[in-house]
Structures are given as structure tokens and as C-alpha cells.
Amino acid sequence: MTKFILIGLGDIEMLYNGRDLKALMYVLVSIGSCLFGTFIAYSLFKTS
């Protein structure tokens, strides 16, 4: 099982500095890339 940090220190600093949209986009891109990587790995290594 793989773990990744959803909200990092940089994201929290962006929120405190008034960069809400940038922090939100960073979190969404992180989630999206994780899901995309999981899909690719599943597609490549599934045994059927």
C-alpha cells in the first residue's frame, strides 16, 4: 500500500499567504496524479 501526504507544509503556507486557489489546485493535481498513476499501474500489472 502506498501513502502520500495530501496537504503539505507548502500548501498550508499558501493558504496563510492568501493563495487559496493555488493551494487548491496543487491539492487537486496531487490527487489526480495519484489516481492516474494507480490506474496506469493497475492496467499494466493486472493478472487476468
pLDDT bucket at 46, cuts 50 / 70 / 90? confident
| Domain presence at residue 15 | yes
For residue 42, count other CB atoms closer than 10 A to its CB.
9
Tell me the C-alpha distance between 26 and 34, whole Å.
12
Question: Is residue 47 assigned to a domain?
Answer: no
Residue 18 resides in a domain: yes
pLDDT value of position 18: 83
pLDDT in tens, 5-29: 556 777 778 778 888 888 788 878 8
In a domain? residue 4: no
pLDDT score of 1: 43
Range of the domain at 26: 10-42
39 pLDDT more than 90 = yes
